[in-house]
Chains A and B, each alone.
Chain A
């Protein structure tokens, strides 16, 4: 059985699955229940001067019949007194000494305020502190949250203040609402951060009610931009995690956050460099119980692949994330249709014809529409640019596959080619013209 024990910047937990700071980590009862269910750690809902929330706080995006593909919120940080939160953190830590308990903090940008908050937090026995420099809604209007995390100097300054008194690891939670997250990450490192976590939520308006013209989530007909999360944001998070993980000026542990719902998502974050994982939306949808399959699925996959510990997996995909100019221009692919599997929907033809490279030929339906006639689509090999679109739209697993086409040419990158080095293998682009389309 794979060993999932995690040591993240000195914070130990039985597994890498932590609850992200948010509604599921608001109280002792929730966090204790989560630990009983198997969660390895929890980042407490952000503590600061108690706020007052609005009614109606969450907005949801469905994709067809799939509920909550994306999710946003305009909820603020904890509305509970600081003392209550700290007392419960101390209690959780006392009762669950082997689990990671991390306090998320957000106070006004004053040195004394941060010093006071950090000292009080450390008295609870918490394992670490996460600085919430990420929330894009509400608190940012008051100069906190992403208002700090969007400015490298502010980020660095507050991390410095915190580190002046911190005796436990300090994690800086980054906002994705910036042009280049690595600048903020470097500022946090400069300030002395022990680790980073990302991504916080993305600025969003999830929908507009077409009867009332009220954006969601509606507060008496009005709304405000909120933080977007859930499965929809995973690709953005994967990119930003990899960008920070690859940055030679960062080099500190990264806690991956953003749309993690399954063990597969988790494994991908780890492969791109995450040392621990934080989950919120999936728990808000399905409850703490999902951790069982996160652990079981990850362990089974690691066992099958012969990975014994998380460090065997961590960062394994990072060397494969490169600049575009370093990709091999002589690596050629051709779409292949398994006609035995084809159900003759012609979605690949439509997509290729209208949306891509006109490289699929439509054949007559020999049977008048249904049943046993021959193939209805075939790849025009000399026109196919191996773009993946047909395979992406095909509703049958394994029906359209992208097959490598070997050639005798050595690999050549754009960087080399633009510098006059290397030769391009013959390719199909010459067919990719309006004239070609018409003349077929």
Chain B
């Protein structure tokens, strides 16, 4: 269990990018050049009209600003907090070419969307009922983005979700210091309020019965469990997969999440970074990434790497895990260097973060025109914004099919 005080844990998991003050938002919004055919908009998978929403912040039209954002991206709230903007909109900002900091697009987006979320302003309405019914499997960002746009077009929507809460990885899997579950759930509620029927705790094992009952199906079930390493010792106490670790952290008081004093995280993707930083923030004395290849090969974003370094996490490169050692409980990780020499790194916790496998528990037909797919299960695992974009696109296609055959 963590040794840190509640107050310290609260600080450690506070928003990494706190909200802008109204003064700052106004200053920042007025810095935007209002580009035509703006690179930021092009870079966004949902193509939010970024200059338009920023201009509206500058004119004090926060409701209108949020509408521009959410019209394009039903997950505009969570994307404002968790989007990798450095490689998307902000990375594309023309101010980079003037050797300046880009406009703080994510924080401005948060400024506008917080305004409507805090005031519970309803920006969208369900469309007039069409009599068509759509089933959505998976209440993650892809499924719910699709649900929102189908409801706006008047189609009845039932969402099936295996977990006890909706939101998918937004609720269960985003680093706590980026997006908290209550914000994710409030955002989801906004969509549900359009009249979506949500069935929680229901695992869909086959699409067949749904195809009998519904006019179309959207599958947004995400990926499967974290892949195993296939090395001895994975069943030892103290070995956990990254998503289970993060989910526990996000669904329990901080004090209740088990963390070791010396934590090794195997893998170097963005989820591995989320795990290593959060282990550190929970109170691990040492929290170390163990990666079989070199620094330049790490699949995580550069700024995530920088964040982990700032958090005081350590990195072991060119270390191929061969065996987790211990007697009942994990005591070390044996790794192999490129020269085949071996070493055992002592530890009391191992977090495995080498990516999720595909879903093996649900199959969907590839050629049934009534079945649409989006999100991680279709793209192999990407960002919230990709899932949202795919959900929005699918809703458009489903609507086309339901209204024009």
Contacts and interface: CB of A to CB of B under 8 A. Distances in A.
B63 A286 contact: no
Given A396-B23, A397-B23, A293 B36 contact: no
Contacts of B22: 397
A222 B147 CA distance: 64
B262 interface: no
Contacts, number: 40
A263 B34 contact: no
Contacts of B36: 287
B219 to A, nearest CB: 36
Interface string B66-84: 0100000000000000000
A301 B67 CA distance: 14
Interface string A287-326: 1011011001100110010000000000000000000000
B38 to A, nearest CB: 11
Nearest to B63: A300
A404 interface: no
A224 interface: no
Contacts of A286: 34
A180 B55 CA distance: 36
Given A66-B30, A286-B34, A293-B55, A300 B61 contact: yes
With a 10 A CB-CB cut-off, give which of B23, B30, B59 has the most chain A CB atoms: B59
Nearest to A287: B36
Do most interface residues of chain B lie in helix, strand or loop, or is the interface mixed?
helix
B34 A297 contact: no
A334 B339 CA distance: 78
A300 to B, nearest CB: 5
Interface in A247-267: 262-264
Interface residues of B, number: 18
B56 A293 contact: yes
Contacts of B21: 397
Nearest to A297: B61
Contacts of A396: 23
A289 B52 CA distance: 9
A300 B65 CA distance: 11
Contacts of B55: 290, 293
B326 interface: no
A297 B23 contact: no
A293 B64 contact: yes
With a 10 A CB-CB cut-off, give which of B21, B36, B64 has the most chain A CB atoms: B64
Given A287-B36, A396-B23, A397-B23, A297 B64 contact: yes
B30 A264 contact: no
Nearest to A304: B63
Interface in B54-112: 55-56, 58-61, 63-64, 67
Contact of B59 (A65, A264, A395): A264
Interface string A392-403: 000111000000
Interface string B30-58: 11001010000000000000001001101
Contact of B64 (A66, A264, A296, A397): A296
A58 B85 CA distance: 38
A262 B59 contact: yes
A304 to B, nearest CB: 8
A116 B60 CA distance: 47
Contacts of A262: 58-60
A292 B64 CA distance: 10
Given A293-B52, A293-B56, A297-B56, A263 B61 contact: yes
B133 to A, nearest CB: 30
A230 to B, nearest CB: 15
Contacts of B64: 293, 296-297, 300
Given A66-B30, A287-B36, A293 B61 contact: yes
A62 to B, nearest CB: 13
Contacts of B63: 300, 304
A297 B30 contact: no
A286 B59 CA distance: 14
A286 B36 CA distance: 9
A263 B23 CA distance: 20
Contacts of B58: 262
Nearest to A299: B64
A265 to B, nearest CB: 9
Contacts of A301: 61
A296 B71 CA distance: 14
Contacts of B23: 395-397
A293 B67 CA distance: 12
A287 B23 CA distance: 27
Contacts of B30: 66
Contact of A296 (B31, B34, B56): B56
A293 B112 CA distance: 15
A287 B52 CA distance: 12
B295 to A, nearest CB: 38
Interface string B352-379: 0000000000000000000000000000
Contacts of B56: 293, 296-297
B116 to A, nearest CB: 11
A287 B51 CA distance: 13
Contact of B60 (A289, A292, A297, A395): A297
A66 B22 CA distance: 19
Nearest to B26: A397
Nearest to A298: B61
Contacts of B60: 262, 264, 297
A108 to B, nearest CB: 40
Interface of A: 65-66, 262-264, 286-287, 289-290, 292-293, 296-297, 300-301, 304, 395-397
Interface of B: 21-23, 26, 30-31, 34, 36, 52, 55-56, 58-61, 63-64, 67
19 contacts: A262-B58, A263-B61, A264-B60, A286-B34, A287-B36, A293-B61, A293-B64, A296-B56, A296-B64, A296-B67, A297-B56, A297-B60, A297-B61, A300-B61, A300-B64, A301-B61, A304-B63, A395-B23, A397-B26
A-B complex: 6 closest residue pairs judged by Cβ atoms = A297-B61, A262-B59, A296-B64, A300-B63, A397-B23, A397-B22
